[in-house]
Structures are given as C-alpha cells and as structure tokens.
Amino acid sequence: MIDTKKEQERDELHRAIWAIADELRGAVDGWDFKNYVLGTMFYRYISENLSNYINNGEHAAGHTDFDYAKMSDEEAKEAREGLVEEKGFFILPSELFYNVRAKAATDENLNETLEKVFNHIEGSAIGSVSENSFEGLFNDFDVNSNKLGSTVARRNEKLVKLLNGVGEMNLGNVKDHSIDAFGDAYEYLMTMYASNAGKSGGEFFTPADVSELLTRLGIVVKTEINKVYDIITTKTIQFNYPILKAS
C-alpha cells in the first residue's frame, strides 16, 4: 500500500531541489550542485536544531517569549561552552541560517559571510568529542568558486538563490517527517547527476529502482545467489557468501 504522506513529502522535496537546480542552471555541474544543496540543507538543519534546543529550554523555564535568533551575540557567547558540551557545536545568533538568509540579498560580501560562518561552526567543535565530525564539514562548499560566477556579485547572486531555495523547503521538524529528508535529497541529487553524466554517472551511483529490479530478478525462483550483474557499471558483483532469498 502506498504511503501517501511519504510520497507527498518526497515529491515536495524533489520539486524544491529541482527549482534550485533551475535557478542555478548553467552555473554548477551536478556533482558540485549536490555539495552546495546538501551543505546548505545541513547548515539550515543545525541552525534550527540549536535554536529549537535553546528555545525549548527557555520556554520550559517560563521564558515563553525567548527567541535565540533575536539574542545578541555577546549574550549568547556566555553559553557557548555549555552548548558545545551538550550539542557538540555552537552558532552565534547572527550566524544562524535564518538571520544570514534574511540579510543575504543586501550583503555585498555574502561569500565572505558564509565562509566565516562555516569556519566558526567547524571551529566551535575543536577540542570537543564531536571535533572529528565537524572537521572539514563544509570543505566542498566553495563560496568563491568561479563555477558560481565570474565575479563576486554574480557568485553572491547564486548564493542568495541557494539560501532562499533551501529556506523555502518545507522541512519543518526533520524528526516529524515520514522520510529521511537528507538521505532522500542525497539520493535524488545523485540520481540527477548520474542521469546527466551518462554511463560514467553509474560509477558513483546506481538508482534505487535499478538496484531493486536487480534484486528482484536475481532471486526469481532461486533459494540463494552469489553474484549479480550491475547494468549501470557493467560489472559482475561476486559475493563471498550466498544471499538467501527473502521469505
């Protein structure tokens, strides 16, 4: 039975990603585009995750009007050490996705702003148990790449569209979704890349539909199999142990 809610969420996410791709058409290729979209999605996610965590604590304590996004950076710095210990990272209010996006269209140095923000996020985890997870997290998000534009103004124009595109995604609370928003976005982006890259795209990604078809074909009237032929990579995958047919 089809899960209607899940399909609606997935279709909405795919439409949002396609809209961003349409805005950035001709600017970056599929592989780099994937890094920009996923990087921006993650930036939004950790910004909202931290804000919600702080706001929920303050609201539970009776400060119902508190909003971390509106707090001054100086005040927020006082809680930095504790937040890094609890969450593994820290983001200043002014550097939250929401606030950076709000000023993006008028920020002539948006590329430098984002670079600084990403460096601060990665740097906040240094010395904590999450240091390895955040080290080089945004390395593939090159805000100064000529692929975004030949001038700073043109690059910033693309970055504004990227922030707005991800900001308009109906992600809500990721935990409430029926789908894995990031996992599904990654799969969709890889599918877009593989489709545009032709045969070579298969070296990086095999679409889920193809994998499922291969699996179904491979186990027809069989009790076990030990190898499959991947039509994308044109390679035979040999297993060291038999894969039993699902009951």
pLDDT tens column, 45-70: 899 999 999 999 999 999 999 999 99
Q: For the chain, state the CA radius of gyration.
A: 22
Query: pLDDT at position 17, please?
Result: 81
End-of-domain residue from the set 180, 198, 216: 198
Percent of the chain residues past pLDDT 90, beyond the cut: 45
Give me the number of domains the chain comprises.
2
Query: Worst-scoring range by mean pLDDT, 3-7, 163-167, 181-185, 200-204?
Result: 200-204
Same domain? 153 vs 57? yes
Residue span of the structural domain in which 219 resides: 206-247
Same domain? 175 vs 221? no
CA dist 21 and 13 (Å) reads 12
Query: pLDDT at position 56, please?
Result: 93
C-alpha dihedral, 27 to 28 to 29 to 33, nearest 10°: -130
CA dist 189 and 183 (Å) reads 10
- When pLDDT is cut at 50, 70 and 90, the band that residue 236 belongs to is confident
Of residues 205 and 16, which shows the higher confidence score?
16
Q: Mean pLDDT over residues 6-35, rounded?
A: 75
For 73-90, the pLDDT digits (tens) are: 999 999 999 999 999 999
pTM here is: 0.74
Same domain? 115 vs 224? no
Same domain? 111 vs 84? yes
Query: pLDDT at position 65, please?
Result: 95
End-of-domain residue from the set 166, 182, 198: 198
Of residues 93 and 7, which shows the higher confidence score?
93
CA dist 140 and 120 (Å) reads 16
Tokens of 74: 């100086």
Give the long-range contacts of residues 180-185, CB within 8 A, separation 24 or more: 181/9, 181/13, 181/41, 182/38, 182/41, 182/42, 182/45, 184/10, 184/13, 185/13, 185/17, 185/37, 185/38, 185/41
Tokens of 175: 């935990």
